[in-house]
Amino acid sequence: MLKTILLAAAGALFATTAFAHVTLETREAKIGSGYKAVFRVPHGCAGSATVKLRVQIPEGYIGVKPMPKAGWKLDIVKGKYDKSYDLYGHSINEGVTEIDWTGNLPDDYYDEFVMSGFLSDSLPVGEMLYFPVVQECEKGVTRWIEKPAKGADPDSVEHPAPAVKLLPKK
Ligand SMILES: [Cu+2]
């Protein structure tokens, strides 16, 4: 009985810690398939409201489109990919490389920022795909851009970049 309670408490603690950063809702996805990236923002910068969220799109995540958000200004940056990719039978070599949402999210509130895209089937299976995020606040900035050592816990670094684990196509 006590063991069960301790395990539940440990689970809740881990979930809370992992959830307490800017993270992706879905943390594993198959290459060669569509992927909806949902960025969860559970707090501001040391209590200060978030006024801008800038997301850098990793190479290999193609055909990206952001979801507009009421009350937020949306800017997208487009650029060349490092190589050509196949997207549903079409060869493409450029697309969205950064998405910025500008608005105001008080620290007391939680919100999600969404985009849809395609994980190219040339991405390396078993690796993590990182989406560096810069969170600008009324006071201060937090850069969620750190990449833990291979296989290490995301919490081994202070500001882990949101990431998704790449799974085999089938
Ligand atoms: Cu946090």
Q: Report the separation in Å between the CA atom of 160 and the middle of ligand 1, taken as the mean of its atom positions.
A: 10
Give the pLDDT score at 154: 80
Confidence of residue 12 (pLDDT cuts 50, 70, 90): low
Give the pLDDT score at 2: 63
User: Span 97-108, mean pLDDT?
Assistant: 98
In angstroms, the CA 123 to CA 32 distance is 8
Contact in structure between 131 and 55 (CB atoms under 8 Å): yes
The pTM for the full model equals 0.87
Q: Which domains does the chain have, with CATH numbers?
A: 21-167 (2.60.40.2230)
User: Span 31-58, mean pLDDT?
Assistant: 98
Q: Report the separation in Å between the CA atom of 154 and the middle of ligand 1, taken as the mean of its atom positions.
A: 12
Confidence of residue 1 (pLDDT cuts 50, 70, 90): low
Going across the sheet that includes 73-87, the strands are: 73-87, 90-105, 50-56, 133-137, 141-144
Which residue type sits at 34? G
Residue 117 has pLDDT above 90, yes or no: yes
Q: Report the separation in Å between the CA atom of 138 and the middle of ligand 1, taken as the mean of its atom positions.
A: 17
Which residue type sits at 168? P
DSSP letter for each residue of 1-23: -HHHHHHHHHHHHHHHHHHTSSE
